């Protein structure tokens, strides 16, 4: 059987949930689907990670976030907040139901085919909102040994590396945080970065002095201008790089010991649904083309929301939750055939 709805939200991250609240409050007939659990990207953040944004900027649908310390909110606190938001507004989310095919029908409707535990489902909708985020898979280095069991592209728990030799590759926020926390948890940390120094614009301001102090005191072994070219059993080969981070191919690499390796080199978006629906993706970032006043893409009836607007940025993350709240009223108004007037000084993407 095919279900019919007015709008489908694909994705149940923060902005997808905020949009669902707005649809429900406006009486709109919608369905919300997610390939995993709500906030699935946040769920694979490191345990007890502190968000960069302040709590007031992460709040959704007018529901404030309160913490006992009045400090930055943690991963665990934000996931609990998202669960509470769903319960408070009685949102019905079809989690663990992946959209495998999205097509536009001749009459202008859209057909979504999904896969869930109980089998395949089919939906017809008038509008589609892609709130799928931007981090679906790691950026691979495509080097020998990258697929080995002791190599990971995700940092989850510092306890894993207690008493072990840990090589961390990368120099942005996730790499610096992993290095600081794992060293404190008793790991023997080596940090390899293809450039000279960390960028204070992308590393959390409270982490930068920490990592520099640990490097200065010899607690973290820092190898700037290096990049891995091969991974073996308990070892890794690092080649020198030039000032732009490119590997110097004719230089002699160095071998270091490593029980575990974290390749924290960034993540990329899966553009499959954009491609299936015919959304134009532009530039090296493959950013979806959309009208910033309505969030509607070049395909009438298909909208984009949240960090999905970023495509796959080369390295620096520029679109975050706090810059995406304005997408919600724009989309609601556009589907209702209206235009939303933004207040002066509104944060835009």
Q: How many domains does the chain have?
A: 2
Indicate whether 244 belongs to any domain: yes
Q: What average pLDDT score do residues 163-186 get?
A: 96
Q: How confident is the model at residue 231 (pLDDT cuts 50, 70, 90)?
A: very high
Q: What are phi and psi of 261, to 5 degrees?
A: -135, 130
Provide the token pair at 8: 């489908």
Among 178-187, 237-246, 305-314, 332-341, top mean pLDDT goes to: 178-187
> Given this model, what pLDDT does residue 177 score?
95
Mean pLDDT of the chain: 92
Per the listing, tokens 């072994």 go with: 221
Lowest mean pLDDT: which of 22-36, 194-208, 302-316?
Answer: 302-316
Q: What average pLDDT score do residues 299-319 get?
A: 84
Q: How confident is the model at residue 249 (pLDDT cuts 50, 70, 90)?
A: confident
Per-residue pLDDT reduced to its tens digit, 332-346? 999 999 876 555 444
Provide the token pair at 320: 């975050």
Angle at 214 between CA 213 and CA 220, to 5 degrees: 150
> Given this model, what pLDDT does residue 233 score?
95
Could you tell me if 191 and 222 are in contact, meaning their C-beta atoms sit under 8 angstroms apart?
yes
Do residues 126 and 47 share a domain? yes
Provide the token pair at 288: 């979806």
Q: What average pLDDT score do residues 311-336 get?
A: 85
Domain extent, residue 108, equals: 2-136+267-335
Do residues 258 and 275 share a domain? no
- H/E element, 16: helix 14-25
> Given this model, what pLDDT does residue 132 score?
96
Do residues 181 and 37 share a domain? no
Do residues 272 and 132 share a domain? yes
Q: How confident is the model at residue 284 (pLDDT cuts 50, 70, 90)?
A: confident
Do residues 81 and 144 share a domain? no
């Amino acid at each position: 059987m095919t279900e019919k709805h007015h709008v489908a939200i694909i994705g149940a991250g923060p902005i997808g949930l905020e949009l669902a609240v707005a649809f429900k409050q406006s009486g709109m007939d919608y369905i919300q689907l997610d390939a995993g659990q709500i906030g699935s990207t946040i769920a694979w953040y490191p345990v007890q990670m502190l968000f960069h944004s302040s709590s007031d900027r992460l709040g959704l649908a007018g529901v404030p976030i309160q913490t006992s310390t009045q400090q930055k909110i943690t991963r665990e606190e934000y996931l609990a907040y998202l669960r509470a938001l769903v319960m408070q507004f009685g949102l019905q989310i079809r989690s663990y139901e992946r959209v495998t095919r999205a097509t536009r029908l001749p009459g202008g409707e859209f057909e979504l085919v999904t896969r869930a535990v109980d089998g395949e489902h089919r939906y017809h909708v008038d509008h589609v909102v892609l709130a799928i985020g931007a981090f679906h898979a790691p950026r691979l280095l495509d080097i020998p040994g990258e697929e080995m069991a002791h190599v990971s592209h995700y940092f989850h728990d510092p306890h894993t590396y207690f008493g072990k030799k840990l090589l961390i590759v990368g120099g942005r926020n996730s790499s610096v945080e992993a290095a600081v926390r794992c060293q404190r948890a008793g790991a023997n940390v080596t940090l390899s970065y293809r450039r000279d120094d960390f960028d204070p614009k992308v590393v959390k301001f409270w982490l930068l002095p920490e990592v520099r102090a640990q490097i200065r005191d010899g607690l973290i072994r820092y190898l700037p201008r290096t990049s891995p070219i091969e991974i073996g059993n308990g070892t890794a080969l690092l080649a020198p790089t030039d000032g732009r981070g490119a590997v110097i191919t004719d230089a002699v690499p160095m071998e270091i010991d490593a029980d575990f390796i974290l390749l924290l080199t960034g993540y990329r978006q899966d553009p499959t649904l954009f491609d299936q629906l015919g959304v134009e993706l532009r530039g090296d970032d493959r950013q979806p083309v959309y009208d910033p006043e309505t969030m509607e893409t070049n395909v009438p009836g298909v909208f984009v929301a949240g960090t999905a607007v970023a495509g796959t940025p080369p390295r620096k993350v520029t679109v975050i939750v706090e810059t995406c709240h304005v997408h919600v009223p724009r989309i609601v108004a556009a589907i209702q055939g209206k235009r939303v007037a933004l207040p002066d000084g509104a944060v835009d993407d």
